[in-house]
Each structure stands twice: as structure tokens, then as C-alpha cells.
Structure 1
């Protein structure tokens, strides 16, 4: 409020001064433009005498007098306006301080601001470019990193980061890792000599080949953050369960997340498969060694596939056991694919359960391959899958042979005929 009033007063004073100058200038203009040849009596005007006998000289003097007078008047007016503007600015600063601290008057606020400025200047340390520093201070000086502050790809950091450049040399696919949240920043924080190299040497020591290191880190970069004690404890546990060293190395190479799970979880998984499938310790080790991701993935799909095989597909417990021992992938297969293949084998091709159990690899084959070859054999009149009848064709030969061998040995046709038939489907 005080600031608004002060500004209004300053504006009014400026208007008054401007009007006075305008009126005076108007009067002087009228005087200067009076008719030439007019004789005026002797008189004194602001201290200058004007004689009637020399009108031109008097008129010239009067003109110069007015010019000097109004020049001084304008200069005085400008000085007054400048002072008033400076006063207005000081009042505005004081109003701002008083607004922030209403308990202070305006003058006190201005004084407080000036005092605080002086204190800040006194408190500022005086550094000099020529001042010598100690060795400890020189060591503590932080040098900004040459790494880009932010990026959406790890490619921008490879040239500056030793860790990333060495991982690229190992065959790690950084473009896959950068798509996973927080993995890129984690890799940039790792030191190659203290964090990465010891884990790589550990994997190499347990028998993992150098060609598999890139694959392992690409799929499981978090193994670089696991402690060496935990990694060694998990390897020792697997060996205590009579897994051979070569088997452990192979399992780690094919299931990169295997060593990220605790000993307790690994023990629970082995116990689950042994009890659920009613397997011996040897058979349990066998299926886990052949499909090590059984120890890493979720158990829910496994439980669901076991129920599907028993309730929907109609296999007995001992038949399921035989299928799992022969093809462990059935435990993790897609439920829809599994039921689709069984439905075509059993209901379309009329293959009984006993033959499917005898050759369970057919459940792991491609549905399209089974369908195309069966329809081709049916078109040729050779679709006969009963071993007690002549011209028997086993399921193994149906799905395992390559196209050219299948056409010559099983279908008794040419490969060209098979390709032409495929176009009709």
C-alpha cells in the first residue's frame, strides 16, 4: 500500500513539472514570434535590459536568455525525476522486505537488507588463482566425468566405460540389456576389475566355457552383483547332491539364473520334482540336468501341465512318469500346444495312448509338421500307424526325419510332390 501511494505521488509531481515547463515554453514562443519592428520601451526582464532603440539586439539577447533559462530548467527537472525514480526503487525494495517480514518497518527492512548483504560479502572466502593448496586438497578435487549425463542407449557410454567395452568383447548384447529397467545404470556403476572380473573368473573356474560368458551375462546381468561366497555355496550344494562338475557347468551355461537362487530354494525344487513325480534321486538329477530351467522357473505351469496330462489327456501316473523322463520339456510346454497335438494324434490320426507313451517325443514336435505329413500320407493312402498291420509307419519316423528322407522312405514320393501338396492346404 505504501509503495502504491509513493508511486502515485511521484507521478503527480512529474505531471506538474511537465505542465509548468509547457506553459513557460508557450509564453517564450509567443514572445519570440512577436511582429518584427515593434518598439518596446526600456525595461528589465530577469536582470537583462532591453533598449528600444536597438530592437534587433534586444530581441537576440532575449532569445538567447530564454534558451539558456529553459535549458537549465529542463536539466533541473531531469535531475529531480532521476532522484525520485531512485527513491521509488529503494522504496520498492523496502516494501518487498517488509512484505516478507511484516513486523519490520520499511526503513528497518532496508537496513536489514543492506546489513545482510554486507554480512554475505564478509563471509565470502577470498580465493586466489595463485594460492597454493596442499596435496590432500588436490587429491580431494573432484573432476567431472566425461560420460554423458543421460542417454537412452548404452552405445553412448561404451567408449568411456571400461566395463561396457569389455562386456562387448565378451559377446554381451547391450541392446538387449538396455531394454530392461535399471540394468544399464547398474552396469555403469560396476567396476570391471573389482566387480566383473572376479565373477567371470569364478564361472570359468567351475567349468563354464568362455564362449558362454556373453550368453550368461546377456540373459542374467544380475549375476555380476552376487557375492562370490553365495555363488560358491550354491555350486557346492549342487555337487553335494551328486551333480558332477561338468553337469553343473552345463546347467549354469544353459540356465543363467540358476546361481541366483538360494540353496534353500534349490533344495525345495529338487524335493518337489522327486515327490510330485515319485522319482528316485538319480532320475530327479537326470531330468534337472537335462532341463535345468526347472529349478529357475515358476512351479505353477508345471503343476498345471501335470493335471492336464492326467485329467484332460487321460494318461496314467506311470505313463506320465515315463513321458517326463523321456521328454522333460513336457513339464514346461505350452498348455494349448500340448492339448492341440494330443487331440490331433488321438482323435484325427487315431493313435492310442500306448503308442504316444512309447514315443513321447511326438508331444514336443511341431503341430504343423505332424498335420502336413499325416494329410500327405492320407492323400497317398499310406497313413497307417498300427504296428500290428502291414505298412506300419512309426511316430518317430513321421516327425523326426527331414523332408527329403520322409518323402523317399516313408511316403514313397518325391519332394516336389510334397511341396505341391502343401500348396493345396
Structure 2
């Protein structure tokens, strides 16, 4: 019923306003033109231009006021005509008096249509209770920039899941451009396939956080390249368990090409004159040898040969037993050798036989040797009685060292250390 009444009203209004629509559009156009003129900025470059700019603005205001007055007058006359009854209009027609018809804009039917369903909806200005206001959730906006990744964890699904895996974001954000790289990654399409690959090759779930923390770039590596590098290691007779252990302890291992991995293996095998089995052995125990620079390795080999005076077979024996000697600190290496060889009087062949002493703490060696010297038991020659091997000297805990090698108590050893 409401819709029928609305349609009738619209028809009557179209009859009243259709003949004057053209003139109305003309008035509206003039009004818009005046508005446009008033909004045009004027560049004031001189005094004359200031006067012209003020004249233009004044003319525009006057034109605008005239159109507003005209528009208001037309509206008032239109309302008076609408207030006249049908009988009044017929009497005016008989008297050859045409009632005034307002040149107002024609009303569009679609704008006057009633939407009864929308009337029942809540208004945006309607008051709500405190309980309803508390239930309204407002999503937090992601900051456009930040110096810390923690500001993005709540909004980024990738970062939140990486944190759950044990990734240390505070370490990653210290590296340039890595944080923005992680924010661009999608967990399902970028991260999850790499994690599944690591799991397939035998890496434990608990190592995912360590690997990504130290090598976040593995998340951008091509899966085919990763698989090719694992296949290469298998072709060199590395067991699946060894590969998983190497990747877990050297996260950058799979970022290097097959050619580089092959060159590294060939270098150690040729430089140290090792067999393929011994080469796999030292690389499996210290996979960083395949990832790090070769310069420290070359320098340590020269130090062992030239400065320390070891023979080639002795160097080979030391490296196979303790691969860490290859990338050990040069100063520490020479300090320990100097003390063991010159102070403790241990010859080269015994040091090569027990190379663990080169990887021990210098202070431990020094304290224990001085304690044994104080007791008169510092005897490192295997051909003499009361022989003490270098291996036991540096590997035993303090209490066992005191009871088995020094034949003293732990308290005596601590009292002696206070005298040093």
C-alpha cells in the first residue's frame, strides 16, 4: 500500500516539474559555475593581480547570492502551488490564469523509493549498552614501520608460528633486511614446505628454531636446489643420519651449491692427504668446514707445519682426531703448544698422539701441571713410572683428577690455586 501511494505521488510531481526541468538544470549549472569560480586559486604575483583576484572573488559571491535568492523564491512559489487544492487550480484555469510551476529538479523515482526492510535495521547513531560495546572487536593495525619484529607478531601469522617453533626474532632483526623478508613470506606456501623437507631428511622438530634463527634464508631457497644438495651428499656416501646431523649443526650447509660442496670435500681430501672415509669423518663431526672460509684453515695448517714443527703425518693424525684444530684460534693454538712442549717438555709425537690437549683450556692445563709439579708427580714420559697421559690430564673432572692422578683432595687443589 505504501509503495502504491509513493508511485502516485511521484507521478504527480513529474507532471508538475517536467516542463521546467530544463530551466532548473540551467540554474543549477549557473550555481555550480559560481561555486567553481570561487574555488579557483589565484596566484598573486603583483599588486595588479591581487586586485583582479579580489574582483573575481567579489563577482563570484554576488552571483552566488543572486542564484540562492532566486532558488529560494522559486522554492517558496512551488510550495504555495502545491498547497493549492484541485478546485483552486480548476478555477484559475477557467480564468485563464496559469498556476506557477516551480523549476525545481525532477525527483528521481529510485531516490524516493521506500526500503521497508532497511527501516528495521539498527542505525549507526543508535545508542548501545556497555556490554555490547565491550563485545565490539577492533582489529589492531599493523605498524607501517618499526625497529623490532615484536610489533608485528600479533598481526603476522608467519611470525607468530615461527616464534612457536623457537625462532629467536631478536637475533634475526639484528641482520639487515631479514625482518622485512620474513614479513613478506606466507607460512603455508613458503615456510611449511621447507619445514616438511627438513623433516623428511631426518632433522628433528626441536632443531627447526635453531636452523631458521641462524639461517633464515633457507626459507627462500628453491626446494629443487635443496633436494639436489642432499642427493649429492648421499652420492658421496654420507648416511641419512649424518646428513641430518650436519644440517642441524650447520644451518648454512644446504645454502651452498653442489659445486662448492664438491670443491670443499676435494680440498680437505687433497690438502691433508686423507682417504674418502676420513674426509667424511671429519666433515661429519665438524660440518662448519663445508660452510666457513678456507683462509683460517690454510693459515692453521701453515702454523702447525712451520711454527709448531709438526710433520705431515702428525698433522694428519691431529686433524683426524680433533677437526677443530683446523679452524681454532691461532693465538690459543700457539699458546697451548708452547706451554705443553717447552714448559711440560712433551715431544711432538706425544702431542700428535694426544691432540685433545690442543683443544683444551689453557688455564686448566696450566693449573693442573703446576699442582702436579708441586706434588712431584708431573711425569709425562710413557717409558717412566707414574706416567700421566695428556688425555687424562685435560679430560678428567677436578675431583677425579685429584684422587686418581694427584693423590690429593679437592680442598688441597683449591688451596693451591689460591697461591698462584
TM-score (norm 2): 0.68
- Of the three residues 145, 166, 171, the one matched with 2:166 is 171
Q: Equivalents in 2 of 1:240, 1:355: separation in Å?
A: 37
Residue 197 of structure 1 is matched in structure 2 by: 192
Q: Equivalents in 2 of 1:263, 1:225: separation in Å?
A: 17
Residue 252 of structure 1 is matched in structure 2 by: 247
CA displacement 1:256-314 (0-9 Å, x = unmatched): 00000011110110111111011111111111111111000000000000000000000
Q: Equivalents in 1 of 2:347, 2:358: separation in Å?
A: 13
Give the 5 Å matches for 1:363-402.
Answer: 363-402=358-397
- Of the three residues 360, 374, 378, the one matched with 2:355 is 360
Q: Given the superposition, is the C-alpha separation of residues 365 and 91 from structure 1 closer, same or farther in structure 2, using an over 3 Å criterion?
A: closer
Q: Equivalents in 2 of 1:239, 1:312: separation in Å?
A: 38
- Of the three residues 312, 331, 346, the one matched with 1:336 is 331
- Of the three residues 93, 107, 114, the one matched with 2:43 is 93
Give the 5 Å matches for 1:124-143.
Answer: none
Residue 315 of structure 1 is matched in structure 2 by: 310
Give the 5 Å matches for 1:179-194.
Answer: 179-194=174-189
CA displacement 1:107-162 (0-9 Å, x = unmatched): 9x969x99xxxxxxxxxxxxxxx9xxxxxxxxxxxxx9821112221111111111
Q: Equivalents in 1 of 2:251, 2:290: separation in Å?
A: 11
1:300 aligns with 2:270: no
Q: Equivalents in 2 of 1:334, 1:110: separation in Å?
A: 81
CA displacement 1:339-377 (0-9 Å, x = unmatched): 000000000000000110111111111101000000111
Return 5+ residue gaps in structure 2 as ranges: 1-39, 58-110, 112-138
Q: Equivalents in 1 of 2:415, 2:184: separation in Å?
A: 58
Length, aligned pairs only: 301
1:146 aligns with 2:141: yes
CA displacement 1:372-405 (0-9 Å, x = unmatched): 0001111111111111111111111100000000
Residue 130 of structure 2 is matched in structure 1 by: none
Q: Equivalents in 1 of 2:140, 2:180: separation in Å?
A: 15
Residue 182 of structure 1: how far off its partner (Å): 1.2
TM-score (norm 1): 0.67
> Contact 2:140/2:155 (CA < 8 Å) preserved in 1?
no
Q: Secondary structure at the match of 2:43?
A: helix
Instruction: Name the structure, 1 or 2, with higher relative contact order (CA <8 Å, separation 6+).
Output: 2
The runs of 4+ residues in structure 1 deviating greater than 2 Å are 90-94
Root-mean-square deviation over aligned CA pairs: 2.4
Residue 187 of structure 1: how far off its partner (Å): 0.9
Q: Given the superposition, is the C-alpha separation of residues 217 and 260 from structure 1 closer, same or farther in structure 2, using an over 3 Å criterion?
A: same
Larger Rg: 1
Return 5+ residue gaps in structure 1 as ranges: 1-89, 99-104, 115-129, 131-143
Q: Equivalents in 2 of 1:146, 1:246: separation in Å?
A: 45
